[in-house]
Amino acid sequence: MNEIEDLDLDLLGRTIVGVRSMTQHEIYVFGWDEYVGMQGDAVVIELDNGALLVPSRDAELNGGGQMMQVVPSDNPEDQPEGVILLHLLVEGDDQ
């Protein structure tokens, strides 16, 4: 198994029980307290088993990252600006 398959086993079937901003303590623990305005930007997704998913802006964990919800749709009116391009890129991979 590779790391992605291991992650799938840990996440499949889990339920999101909360989505919130990081606490000041969590920001400190991650070492992100040096970034001005991180509180309110850094997101925590809480799972039913107590695990926390924390998006990072890069692989080196240099601050909290942003998340985007993408809802598959062929209707451009259903998506925020910029998401249709992402949808088209994903469709292009299948061809």
Distance CA 30, CA 32 (A): 5
Whole-model pTM: value is 0.64
Phi/psi of residue 57, nearest 5 degrees: -70, -20
User: Would the pLDDT of 94 be above 70?
Assistant: no
Q: Which residue has the tokens 């692989």?
A: 59
Which DSSP category does 1 fall into?
-
Closest by alpha carbon to 27, among 37, 45, 39, 19? Answer: 39
| Sequence spans of domains, the chain | 1-64, 67-95
Tell me the per-residue pLDDT of 50-77, one tens digit each, with 9 for 90 and over. Answer: 989 998 888 888 888 877 766 666 666 6
- For the chain, what is the mean pLDDT? 74
